[in-house]
Amino acid sequence: MTRQESYIQAVKIFNRWLEQKHLRKTPERFAILKMAWQMSGHFGVDALHEALENTSYHVSRATVYNTVSLLEDCGVLRRYQTGSEAQYETAGRSHLHLICNRCGAVREYDASADIASLLAPCRYEGFTPAWLSANVYGICADCAAKAAPENCNTSTN
């Protein structure tokens, strides 16, 4: 699925969801959704608000917060928490987040083959998976290296 296709799909999902929940389809809500698709990678709500301001689209911070939470509820944005600020990204792209418990670094791991095998069991339930969202917590290589004994090199000069 291309970025444009996933955006069109997200608009459809959001439209339908707002109808079902009897919520208003305001132009602001759709402008925020559109901007979310223009953000690269992960973003915080403040960065999204700033990006809208930069295109001279004025909408309150509260509206951005509120809309992002609606977009999360309907499944087109996904959230993960590292440290104090929640990060968001658009749904539809399968990858793992490797999140370090010590320094909070988040690395994306695109392992299509591994992810396909993770999705396989879903099929047994008669469910057709589209994409996978998963966070893997642990210790990153940098932190592991720092934690290692001072000098493992036993060679003598």
Nearest to 33 by CA among 67, 83, 75: 67
Binding to Zn ion (CB under 5 A) within 108-137 occurs at 108
- 14 vs 88, which CB is nearer to Zn ion? 88
Q: How far is the CB of 101 from Zn ion (least distance, A)?
A: 8
CB of 3 to Zn ion, least distance (A): 14
Other CB atoms within a 10 A radius of the CB of residue 45 amount to: 21
Q: Are β-strands 85-90 and 95-100 bridged in parallel, bridged antiparallel, or unpaired?
A: unpaired
Of these, 13, 86, 119, 143, which contacts Zn ion (CB under 5 A)?
A: 143
CB of 37 to Zn ion, least distance (A): 14
Q: Is 39 in the site for Zn ion (CB under 5 A)?
A: no
Size of site (CB under 5 A) for Zn ion: 8
* Residue 39 DSSP symbol: S
Pairing mode, if any, of strands 77-82 and 133-138? unpaired
Residue labelled with tokens 């749904």: 91
Q: Is there binding between residue 100 and Zn ion (CB under 5 A)? A: yes
Among 102, 107, 123, 146, binds Zn ion (CB under 5 A): 102
Tell me, residue by residue from 80 to 99, as one string, x for binding to Zn ion by CB under 5 A and - for no binding. Answer: ---------x----------
**Alpha carbons 77 and 67: distance in angstroms, whole number:** 10
CB of 96 to Zn ion, least distance (A): 8
Token pair 């792209």 is at which residue? Answer: 93
The sheet with strand 106-109 has its strands ordered as 106-109, 95-100, 133-138
Catalog residues that contact Zn ion under the rule CB under 5 A: 89, 100, 102-103, 105, 108, 140, 143
